Amino acid sequence: MSATEILLRVREYDLAATLDSGQAFRWQKQNDSWVGVIGKHRVRLTQTHAGICAETAAPVENWKWLREFLQTKIELEKVLKTFPDDEPMRAAVAACPGLRLLKQDPWECLASFILSSTKQIVQIRQIIALLCQRFGDPIAVSSSEPAAFAFPSPEKIARVTEAELRACKMGFRAPSLLAAAREIAEGKFNLEHIRQLPHSEARAELMKLGGVGGKIADCVLLFAYGFDSAFPVDVWVERALQQLYFPRRRASGKRLQNFTATYFGPHAGYAQQYLFHYARIYKFDRRDAKPQGANKILRVAASLR
DNA sequence: CGCCAGGATTGAA
DNA sequence: TTCAATCATGGC
């Protein structure tokens, strides 16, 4: 049965927080809904008491791609139970109980995070919007909506010039994106192969690409490939970790790495997402960790319980 | 190690 | 209203 609408019955899902939590960059809030593009589909998502309502412009026979993207089959409570039972994690989860991880297309995710380096979320969104408008295939929208575009394929990007990419305001990231697109388009780099590798090898493989350091590799492993133990540490997460877990003295990068790899359990990536969101909504102190700052956060944490 | 490459936005002076 | 800092990769 083809339809342009479906209700996904899912509990414990904070759609707004999930779509706006720095994992994906193409979702826009429109009144009470979120509008975005998944593959070749323009989708409007609305959270209702019964679950998540999805509407598309063109009729859809099989909604598997949407369930996959939203990861509606994940039983969040089971994931949350694997988190360490400590004050900071309880507070982070309490601050946003239905926060989820999406499962995105590897190429779109990789390209997006290559473009993310040394940029803030607003700018990343802007660059990606320009890239899609200029080089993405147009996709079906309802007559009242503005035009929408798919994320441009590696093959498409491989054929454009560095100057055209720079015109999308991506600056020094342009050569990295172009090189990655070409390697993938020419079959020299296989994004599907990554899926079959163990975590550490997959990470090393991604890091062979220019413009992909540890943090960006971890984002792609977590947000596109579903490596739940990947733990990207950006400035927000680092601030959260330092202040919540090492309040007295800054932990070194090495120490922090060891901590994130062992402390948070099999779904560490989810824990990371909660810490990221928590640090952002409470705008953790921008300066180095200080006992006072940590005490303030712990008071916030205590008040949330 | 320190600096720089792009640039919209934030927050301090 | 200026003006410096943000953000995190790689090359020098």
What's the confidence (pLDDT) of residue A286? 59
Least trusted range by pLDDT, from A126-140, A150-164, A208-222, A248-262: A248-262
Tally of CB atoms within 10 A around A231: 26
Q: Do the Cβ atoms of A243 and A301 come closer than 8 Å?
A: no
DSSP-derived 3-state class of residue A94: helix
The amino acid present at A93, given as its one-letter code, is V
Tally of CB atoms within 10 A around A144: 6
- Any strand B atom closer than 7 Å to A119 CB: yes
Residues with CB under 7 A from strand C: A 116-120, 123, 172, 176, 207, 209-216, 234-236, 286
Protein residue at shortest CA distance from C1' of B6: A171
- Any strand B atom closer than 7 Å to A213 CB: no
Closest nucleotide C1' to the C-alpha of A166: B6
For chain A, percent of residues with pLDDT exceeding 70: 93
Tens of pLDDT, residues A12-64: 999 999 999 999 999 999 999 999 999 999 999 999 999 999 999 999 999 99
Q: Could you tell me the distance in Å between the CA of residue A165 and the C1' of nucleotide B4?
A: 20
- Any strand B atom closer than 7 Å to A171 CB: yes
What's the confidence (pLDDT) of residue A153? 97
- Any strand B atom closer than 7 Å to A163 CB: no
Tally of CB atoms within 10 A around A114: 23
The amino acid present at A232, given as its one-letter code, is P
- Any strand B atom closer than 7 Å to A122 CB: yes
Closest nucleotide C1' to the C-alpha of A117: C8
Q: Is the pLDDT of residue A188 over 80?
A: yes
Tally of CB atoms within 10 A around A21: 20
What's the confidence (pLDDT) of residue A178? 96
Q: Do the Cβ atoms of A15 and A52 come closer than 8 Å?
A: yes
DSSP-derived 3-state class of residue A295: helix
Strand B nucleotides within a 7 Å radius of protein CB atoms: 5-9, 11
Q: What is the distance between the alpha carbons of residues A155 and A8, in angstroms, rounded to a whole number?
A: 34
Strand C nucleotides within a 7 Å radius of protein CB atoms: 5-11
Q: Could you tell me the distance in Å between the CA of residue A134 and the C1' of nucleotide C5?
A: 31
Q: Could you tell me the distance in Å between the CA of residue A59 and the C1' of nucleotide C7?
A: 40
Packing angle, helices A174-185 and A106-116, rounded to 10:
160
Q: What confidence tier does A282 reach under pLDDT thresholds 50, 70, 90?
A: confident
Tens of pLDDT, residues A95-139: 999 999 999 999 999 999 999 999 999 999 999 999 999 999 999
Protein residue at shortest CA distance from C1' of C7: A118
Q: What is the distance between the alpha carbons of residues A165 and A158, in angstroms, rounded to a whole number?
A: 11
Q: What is the distance between the alpha carbons of residues A249 and A261, in angstroms, rounded to a whole number?
A: 20
Closest Cα to residue A222, out of A181, A268, A176, A163? A268
* Tokens 């994940």, located at residue: A74
Helical segments of A121-161, H only: 121-135, 154-158
Q: Do the Cβ atoms of A289 and A250 come closer than 8 Å?
A: yes
Q: Is the pLDDT of residue A197 over 50?
A: yes
A190-198: average pLDDT: 97
Q: Is the pLDDT of residue A298 over 60?
A: no
For chain A, percent of residues with pLDDT exceeding 90: 85
